[in-house]
Structure 1
């Protein structure tokens, strides 16, 4: 290619909002891929190709009416110290449809061995499904200015399938953060499947209202909460694995497997946060009760507060400082007709099973035990009694139950709709759906 044609190509690419930062060559002098820096707005249909490495510089907005398509196997890196964030606005779509063989990876731009939580900000998807904020819409957390919420429960923001999100998270101010994957008012027309969020600085997954369903999620070594639900989220989530690391925890707040509120004020605003989760394996930082070097900010496996009606079925909670905390109106409604419900679950290896108190701010120990047993839940003293293959092997995780495990039976879907009916409890039966597309050591991966 002569110099004149090369310059024309660079100008054309820049006009499309992409800046070519490098172009390597194969032995036959044909391009093998480029590094393309993306910033600002994507206002027309755009394709990111697997042959290129995409660099996100600052807030990148996919505008209403535009679809961003990302090929399987594409590598996207957030530019450090730029608050790199991909924001899919209401009316826009992202089609990140990876495969098990070629997952799409969002990660840090730092070299192997130097990556850390918060190197870039994360992914935000905003939709038009209902939320419980006054006026039916709100500005999403994170200081991006993006608005979410609406009146269409079937709204479609696209596809995230076989996607990894690593080292994300940005704190604008206390309580105002960008998470690994933030979903604001996302509708059930959207597909969220096979998504792993690893080493996030804040929450791994946070749902602000909306109706989206999800399957096959992994939160690995997150900094704050793994699953956070607020503002009227009412979708179904099935098959998910949470594994916390001993050292990673929020610097100033309790870090939990689940944290759920109806809203920040604990109001009864409708729609209520009433999501249903089934077949979730929620593993805390304690492989055993004597696990060393556990950050003291690790707190609860399941924290239900501020009038939430979240429901948990056919799941495993193990290895936390405290298993379950029910607070405020949520504790008064536990296993009542309007929820929240905890049924057919296994709990093991807790330093303390319940956040029991006698001052009226939580249930007493006796009340917890009675209500927990009434939901056909079972408590084991040690994690080993669950007979999971190698669940706390940070770096090479396998949480599939062994033969004879109590997790392989006991599930019930009576009265539930929208879930796949299986016999096992927790994320896995005899098949390991996390195999092949996940990464348990992204710190040291050569990208």
Structure 2
């Protein structure tokens, strides 16, 4: 019996050690942020615009790299048209007219950039700031959990062109690949903003990978309903949420990163991930899917160099917020530099059904002032005991960013947010 116990303990140690040493956060044999991303977009100069886009695009249309385009007001791609954008094309959103691009339900965008020649959406102002223009909106006919199975996006746009929702989870709204969206998030009436990229009822045949949203005054990525698979998304210094999921979206997100900074976060919305099943409970159809997000090999990082003082000043909030009735799983990921790492809505009950829906596994909690809490509660012993169990292989450490990441503060080339494997050791200290 004694030998059997010893064997079990040895196996547990081997499994735990292997899990502790495997790669967490964004991964790759090389830095996949190279070539196509831009971490100082305000300093990049583009050619003057020589083509204007306005009104509705109702027939198949191609935008060419040789031109530089201006979105004047909201531009709708409608009537089942396909908008094709050549690799390397630059499109500017007009500040004065709230330039935006809306891909209506049934239409498609084929924005297939290259790693060495990305497509860029940016501001037309000489001194660029977040909120200079609207953003990109893609509307599909995949399911949404609102009553009636459809809704309309309330961005002060044409209601007839912003309807989304249906029954086709496998619908195809096109391709977004090697694409940057800079300085979007124009304010609309009061507190509401555009998002850099809004995906509403987008289906899983749509390709969304290698997309970077920088300095958005709203959310970087907002996904409302639909069934989406996304990879290598980058959110840089968003004022709102980096990734917001709601209205019953079924999402698998892989190898993606949210890079926050204390001084760029909104005072009320500073989350890397905001997971909710509905915007208003009375509008949700509970016979339909609630939001379910699975995030794998993701990095959520506060890149400030003054973390302790920023936390003391109240500038740092939680990294993840999970609403009631939503399901969320994060695996092999990194959460670094937040206060705390994650918060569950106050109406989430700590019971078996909840723990089946909310999972933190093989995740590296680093430099967080607290790990997982229920909203408006300072006692998180039950959550610490549960998610701190060895079977989940979560790690708790306090390692400086310069020691944990390969090259986070590179000022000449793109930073490298992959972690140094040698710095991860098996640790359960909380």
Question: Are 2:339 and 1:324 aligned?
Answer: no
Structure 2 CA distance for partners of 1:295 and 1:155, relative to 1, 3 Å? farther
Structure 2 CA distance for partners of 1:129 and 1:400, relative to 1, 3 Å? same
2:125 aligned to 110, 119, 127, which one?
Answer: 110
Question: Are 2:395 and 1:378 aligned?
Answer: yes
Q: Do 2:144 and 2:150's aligned partners in 1 also have CA atoms closer than 8 Å?
A: yes
Structure-2 residue corresponding to 1:142: 155
CA deviation vs aligned residue, 1:322-345 (integer Å, no higher than 9, x gap):
211011344536784640212111
Structure-2 residue corresponding to 1:13: none
CA deviation vs aligned residue, 1:248-283 (integer Å, no higher than 9, x gap):
1225x2311111111023567221101211111000
Q: Within 5 Å, give how 1:247-396 maps onto structure 2.
A: 247-251=263-267, 253-266=268-281, 269=286, 270-287=288-305, 289-290=307-308, 296=314, 298-332=316-350, 336=354, 338-355=356-373, 362=377, 364-374=379-389, 375-384=392-401, 387-392=404-409, 396=414
2:78 aligned to 60, 63, 67, which one?
Answer: 63
1:190 aligned to 206, 209, 216, which one?
Answer: 206
Q: How far did 1:363 drift?
A: 7.6
Q: How far did 1:36 drift?
A: 0.4
Structure 2 CA distance for partners of 1:315 and 1:230, relative to 1, 3 Å? same
Question: Are 2:58 and 1:43 aligned?
Answer: yes
Tell me, in whole angstroms, the C-alpha distance in 1 between the residues paired with 2:394 and 2:311: 30
Structure-1 residue corresponding to 2:146: 133
Tell me, in whole angstroms, the C-alpha distance in 1 between the residues paired with 2:48 and 2:154: 35
Structure-1 residue corresponding to 2:424: 406
Q: How far did 1:239 drift?
A: 0.6
**Which segment drifts farther, 132-141 or 193-202?**
132-141
Q: Do 1:141 and 1:176's aligned partners in 2 also have CA atoms closer than 8 Å?
A: no
Q: How far did 1:401 drift?
A: 2.0
Structure 2 CA distance for partners of 1:189 and 1:341, relative to 1, 3 Å? same
Tell me, in whole angstroms, the C-alpha distance in 2 between the residues paired with 1:139 and 1:295: 39
Structure-2 residue corresponding to 1:229: 245
Q: Do 2:147 and 2:285's aligned partners in 1 also have CA atoms closer than 8 Å?
A: no
Q: Do 1:131 and 1:149's aligned partners in 2 also have CA atoms closer than 8 Å?
A: yes
Q: How far did 1:246 drift?
A: 2.6
CA deviation vs aligned residue, 1:185-234 (integer Å, no higher than 9, x gap):
00001000000000000110010010011001000011111010000111
Tell me, in whole angstroms, the C-alpha distance in 1 between the residues paired with 2:421 and 2:381: 33
Q: Do 2:54 and 2:74's aligned partners in 1 also have CA atoms closer than 8 Å?
A: yes
SS of 2:156's equivalent in the other structure is coil
Tell me, in whole angstroms, the C-alpha distance in 1 between the residues paired with 2:190 and 2:346: 23
Q: How far did 1:300 drift?
A: 1.0
SS of 1:283's equivalent in the other structure is strand
Structure-2 residue corresponding to 1:52: 67
Q: Do 1:275 and 1:309's aligned partners in 2 also have CA atoms closer than 8 Å?
A: yes
Tell me, in whole angstroms, the C-alpha distance in 1 between the residues paired with 2:178 and 2:172: 18
Q: Do 1:335 and 1:342's aligned partners in 2 also have CA atoms closer than 8 Å?
A: no
Structure number with greater CO (CA < 8 Å, separation at least 6) is 2
Normalising by the residue count of structure 1, what TM-score does the alignment of the two structures yield? 0.77
Tell me, in whole angstroms, the C-alpha distance in 2 between the residues paired with 1:71 and 1:184: 24
2:232 aligned to 216, 236, 260, which one?
Answer: 216
Tell me, in whole angstroms, the C-alpha distance in 1 between the residues paired with 2:311 and 2:354: 39
Structure-1 residue corresponding to 2:219: 203
Structure-2 residue corresponding to 1:238: 254
Q: Do 2:63 and 2:85's aligned partners in 1 also have CA atoms closer than 8 Å?
A: yes
Structure 2 CA distance for partners of 1:261 and 1:280, relative to 1, 3 Å? same
Structure-1 residue corresponding to 2:38: none
Tell me, in whole angstroms, the C-alpha distance in 2 between the residues paired with 1:386 and 1:268: 47
Tell me, in whole angstroms, the C-alpha distance in 2 between the residues paired with 1:85 and 1:334: 45
Q: How far did 1:321 drift?
A: 2.5
Tell me, in whole angstroms, the C-alpha distance in 1 between the residues paired with 2:177 and 2:101: 16
SS of 1:135's equivalent in the other structure is helix
Tell me, in whole angstroms, the C-alpha distance in 2 between the residues paired with 1:128 and 1:194: 23
**Which segment drifts farther, 183-192 or 369-378?**
369-378
Structure-1 residue corresponding to 2:180: 164
Give unpaired runs (5+ residues) of structure 2: 1-46
